Structure 1
Amino acid sequence: MSKIVLITGASRGFGKIWAEALLQRGDKVAATARNLESIEDLVEKYGNSVLPIELDVNKREDCFAAVQQVQEHFGKIDILINNAGYGLFGTIEETTEKEAKDQFETNFFGLLWMTQAVLPIMRNQRSGHIIQVSSFLGLITIPVLGLYTASKFAVEGLSETLATEVKEFGIHVSLIEPNGFSTDWSGASSYHTEPMEVYAPLKKEFFESATPDSFGEPNATTEAILKLIDTSNPPLRLLLGKIAYPAVKGIYEERLKSWSEWKTVSDNAHGK
């Protein structure tokens, strides 16, 4: 049975790849983008199976209107994939107030607005699956992507909490946590802070450390996404790529070791 899937940020990268994979197998897709020209090819190829919606997820009212449009057009929404987002490259000190707020407006608040908008529909259906595109950088950190990482840590906390709140309504929540992939996420879709010379050596080391092997092939993710969508008991978290698991595992082992070493201090801080 075909599914009704709403995907934000469907103009390029993962969003467009996943939208086409779903359409190819017969699902119906509501695809949002800031510029509808970027998804005209999907409409031409798949016709009425695609509902193109112009949307800036930073605008809460527009998010609610877009969700209502999908509901009225297709009659239901089985899956929401919150994919809209971008990368902000720069150190913490370099980041301006506007850059920091804009990063959270899209990566966190845009996702929150779409989630809030779809929940009443899924509650009434007593079914649904909300898939949040996070990152393995929502679990660990690296230099030069501090604000991006912070926004994804926020998405992780929000979504894990949400999963406990909506389970009784038959709604599943999953976090997708990719490592780096060869999309234009770090190219045309990204922003860079105004550089400070003092951080030049750090940033040089950071950018030179990225080898071709560090990045996965975007099209290879479709099998995982379709499997996640089709399973009756989806996981809360799904890492994507060969880099993510060992990176996260190593950091969490370090954290557990540190917490264990300081456990007596922690216990004593509780009082009697």
Structure 2
Amino acid sequence: MTDPQVWLITGASRGLGRACAEAALEAGHRVVGTARNVEPLEELARKYPDRLLPLPMDVADRRCVFDGVERAAAAFGRLDVVVNNAGGMLYGMVEEATEEQIRAHLDVNFFGAVWVSQATLPHLRAQGGGRLLQVTSMGSGGGMATVGFYGAGKAALDSVGEALAMEVERFGVKVTNVQMGGYNTGLFATGTTATEPLPQYQALRTEMEEMWGDTAGPEPETAAPVILRLAALPDPPRRLIVGGQSFDHVLEMDRAREELYRSWEHLSRLAPG
């Protein structure tokens, strides 16, 4: 077992965040679990009264994030592992989404993760190291109908995460984009905002719903041990796909993209740049 650490986990009230919080506590670590509503964490706090701090935090509110991180660092004296997990789903076609829906979605899924990164990095840098895990998605490498804005937020976080890894590695801070597969996190239930459907897209919507199917995926508890093992690595990768089937799907998508590029290479090379 590694030495006890202090974990800060956003979106800790359900899904992957909750599973990671439970796994970290069982491993002997201390956890600051944040969520807009921390009531679901009360039972866990009673079980670990000295090692779990439920902390209300709306990641879309930058000032709230910075104040919350200061409270988290003061509570346990340091931060070792930050899991940027809070997020939601905007489900619907690009044309259907309102400005308010798009901005609210990205405020949580992208900007919220940026605020947490900015607020925690001074602490990690000052203590000479730490882990920052950016929870993205296996699908962040490309868009897909009905979940385009979800993919967009995760792709943006992927890009920022890679840049951040280069920027802070010299300070001993390791950043990993954790590309999650399809787990039963409740994202499509309590975490989803749906657009107002346009009838013109009904056929495609039906096709996509049939493709998604009714399978919710594995429970997030099965992924949490991988997250703990990743956080303990002395030299972690800058990106990691979580899930065997997801690994295969990502490789398939990468191969298909390369084939597409190759098929139009002759046109690409007509330009000198």
TM, length-normalised to structure 1? 0.95
Q: Distance in 2 between matches of 1:213 and 1:88?
A: 19
User: Does structure 1 residue 117 correspond to structure 2 residue 124?
Assistant: no
2:181 aligned residue (179, 182, 185): 179
The equivalent residue for 1:132 is 134
Q: Distance in 2 between matches of 1:142 and 1:261?
A: 21
Q: Distance in 2 between matches of 1:111 and 1:180?
A: 20
The equivalent residue for 2:24 is 22
Q: CA deviation at 1:268?
A: 3.8
Q: Pairwise mapping of residues 43-82 of structure 1 onto structure 2 (< 5 A)?
A: 43-82=45-84
Q: Pairwise mapping of residues 78-97 of structure 1 onto structure 2 (< 5 A)?
A: 78-97=80-99
Q: Distance in 1 between matches of 2:33 and 2:208?
A: 34
CA contact (8 A) 1:179 1:216 kept: no
CA contact (8 A) 2:184 2:216 kept: no
Q: Distance in 1 between matches of 2:18 and 2:91?
A: 23
Q: What is the RMSD computed on CA atoms of the aligned residues? A: 1.4
Q: CA deviation at 1:82?
A: 0.5
CA contact (8 A) 1:55 1:66 kept: yes
CA contact (8 A) 2:89 2:150 kept: yes
SS at 2:96 equivalent: coil
Q: Pairwise mapping of residues 31-50 of structure 1 onto structure 2 (< 5 A)?
A: 31-50=33-52
User: Does structure 1 residue 7 correspond to structure 2 residue 29?
Assistant: no
What percent of counterpart residues are identical?
A: 36
Higher mean C-alpha displacement, 1-10 vs 234-243: 234-243
User: Does structure 1 residue 102 correspond to structure 2 residue 101?
Assistant: no
| 1:128-176 deviation per Cα after TM superposition (whole angstroms, max 9, x unaligned) | 1100110112123321101111111101111011101111111100111
SS at 2:19 equivalent: helix
User: Does structure 1 residue 142 correspond to structure 2 residue 157?
Assistant: no
Equivalent pairs counted in the alignment come to 271
1:204 aligned residue (203, 206, 210): 206
Q: Pairwise mapping of residues 185-224 of structure 1 onto structure 2 (< 5 A)?
A: 185-211=187-213, 215-224=217-226
Q: Distance in 1 between matches of 2:272 and 2:199?
A: 45
Q: Identify, as 1 or 2, the structure richer in helix.
A: 1
Q: Distance in 2 between matches of 1:98 and 1:214?
A: 28
Higher mean C-alpha displacement, 204-213 vs 172-181: 204-213
Higher mean C-alpha displacement, 120-129 vs 240-249: 240-249
Listed as ranges, the gaps of 5+ residues in structure 2 are: none
